[in-house]
Amino acid sequence: MSYLECFSRMEQTRGVYMKELLEKNIHEVIERWPAVQEILSRFEIGCVTCNLGTCKLRDVVEIHNLDPAQERVLFGEIAALVFPGQTVESPVLERKPVRAGAGQSLSPPVRALVEEHVYIKRVIAALPALCREFVPGNELSTSRLQQAIAFVQGYADKFHHAKEEDILFGLFETDSDVVATMRAEHETGRAHIRQAKLALEQGKRDDLTVQLTAWAELLLEHIRKEDEILFPWMDRQLSDRQIGELFSACLEAEQCFGTAPKEFEAFSMSLM
């Protein structure tokens, strides 16, 4: 084997090393090379959507959709850390072509989910004042909180989260770390709201405020992850056929709720 053939084979092997590293569990990589986390943070890649521990390094990078130049620099820094002193070829992550005519915008069914977040965020913004004004035994302040909790359970959860869980997430690997994390956050939110409802019934203002504040903080961060990272990523992964299926399934689900979603949206808009 000539020197050049030998060199070329070594280079190919190093390329494989980087590819193999990308297929490793993110938590294992960070445990072995803690500075990888700092490198990812500098590229604004937090492991926020993948905290159950089954994501691969590749998934964590791919979901943030860096531009190819940034991705090359990122992989270069990781390679320099993991394979010091070696020239390591970094692979280019495969990018799906943007759907014709879609530009960078979301498809209609995914955009509808993002628009529903706006109504949810309006109610979240009103909660501190509703809690402050709550006087146990006072009919008006109790009724306003009952309406807000009815919105959370009827709209944010039964209507909106059900579409995410039963339809959108179903189009992806149901055992994936990202989907499992989002489902787990929905469950945590449900528990807070059950506790808040109980506290309202019992007239326990402090407990009510604690539970609603915890729910609001959880949901705001959850919505931010969906709007900025998860939904754009999911939208890019879906084929035109899947978008069509998602659209029909969401429409069918929405029809089951009759006029209730529109009434909840009107309630949200009525809040200052």
**Where on the chain is the footprint of Fe ion (CB under 5 A)?**
164, 226
Least gap, CB of 32 to Fe ion (angstroms) = 32
Nearer to Fe ion, 29 or 113 (CB): 113
Residue pointed to by tokens 């938590």: 27
Nearer to Fe ion, 56 or 117 (CB): 117
Nearer to Fe ion, 71 or 164 (CB): 164
Least gap, CB of 266 to Fe ion (angstroms) = 20
Nearer to Fe ion, 74 or 167 (CB): 167
Nearer to Fe ion, 77 or 164 (CB): 164
What are the φ/ψ torsions at residue 247 (nearest 5 degrees)?
Answer: -60, -50
Least gap, CB of 104 to Fe ion (angstroms) = 20
Nearer to Fe ion, 71 or 116 (CB): 116
Least gap, CB of 36 to Fe ion (angstroms) = 28
Least gap, CB of 107 to Fe ion (angstroms) = 15
Least gap, CB of 49 to Fe ion (angstroms) = 11
